[in-house]
Amino acid sequence: MADGNSSDEDFSDDWVLYSCRPEWSDLEPLPQDDGENPVVMIQYSERFNDVFGYLRAVISRQEKSQRALELTKDAAKLNAANYTVWQYRRDILKALNADLYEELSYIGRVIADNPKNYQVWHHRRVIVEWLDDPSSELALTENILDMDAKNYHAWQHRQWVIKNYNLFEDELHYVDRLISEDMRNNSAWNERFFVLKHGGFTPEVLEREVNYVITRVGLIKNNESPWNFLRGLLQQGTGKLAQFPSVVEFCEALYNDGIRSPYLLAFLVDLYEEQYFDVIESGGNEAEAELFHQKVQDLCESMANQHDKIRSKYWRYIAENFRRKASEWATAGSGRNGV
């Protein structure tokens, strides 16, 4: 069944309309009320109208029974994205004091068929909370991520479970495997940062992770994911891009080797701008400051004209904004010196 879409495909050939079932003869189905003059009439299938007609009738009289629970299963088959179906199913589960482990197994199968459906993942979360048992969740999300390693819903559920039940212990090993399989998997890089943030960015962790990421950048230079991860790391510690000399040396070595990845060049723009203002603020060597100033200008021009032409206006704005800030700083500095 396609994610969240109405479908008759999951029903067996011997499935019988509720209107033809003797055990449902006590209930009159409620038709959908589209108003007197609907703009567009949706042509639902006979099965869809039948199931949801009886579901509306069940909800109307607040029937919470085993047959109503089974009815919600059929409704979910037809439209797994219907929030009311899942909410009423939860109401019935509570009223019947139903076996929640059986429900967990059921919703796991539904998720396998609808892995990008918000409502089914939310239902799963609620059942896990009621049970207070996360023991199956990492395996479930790993199976879903094996099908699509960038499934946002699976990652969201996995992070919720890990954070709420303190299951961080082996997560770095898991994401390291995913990154090794696909270094462009931005979701895995994000998960790595999530785990590291929980443990804290100590100097030792930062140094280890900086070495980890520059090794991966060295393998695929034009890969945005590890560059973003590197920037995230360097926002920790002192917050300076140049806080690790090894990063500066690595990036300049790439550039000197002829690498012109836009992610490398963008990083160097920010690095040299940072170094320019560090020299100026410390009253350092003017020639050194001017060198950084020129590097920023040259790199922005290179990005605008060759390596990121689709954002040429952006890079010219960055260059102009840098010149403006540098000029303002120079003017302020002259005032402080009494000139």
**CB neighbours (10 Å) of residue 31?**
10
Indicate the Cα dihedral angle 107, 172, 165, 125, nearest 10°: -20
The amino acid at 195:
V
**53/56 Cα distance (integer angstroms):** 5
CB 79 within 8 A of CB 85: yes
**278/121 Cα distance (integer angstroms):** 48
CB 176 within 8 A of CB 144: no
Please state the separation of Cα 217 from the chain's center in Å: 22
The amino acid at 304:
A
Residues 6+ away with beta carbon under 8 Å from 221: 254, 259, 261, 263, 264
Could you tell me if residue 86 is left (phi over 0), alpha (psi between -120 and 50 degrees) or otherwise beta?
alpha
DSSP secondary structure of 87-154? HHHHHHHHHHT--HHHHHHHHHHHHHH-TT-HHHHHHHHHHHHHHT--TTHHHHHHHHHHH-TT-HHH
Instruction: Please say if 73 is a catalytic residue.
Output: no
**235/214 Cα distance (integer angstroms):** 16
Q: Which of 73, 77, 116, 313 is catalytic?
A: 116
Which residues participate in catalysis according to the annotation? Answer: 116
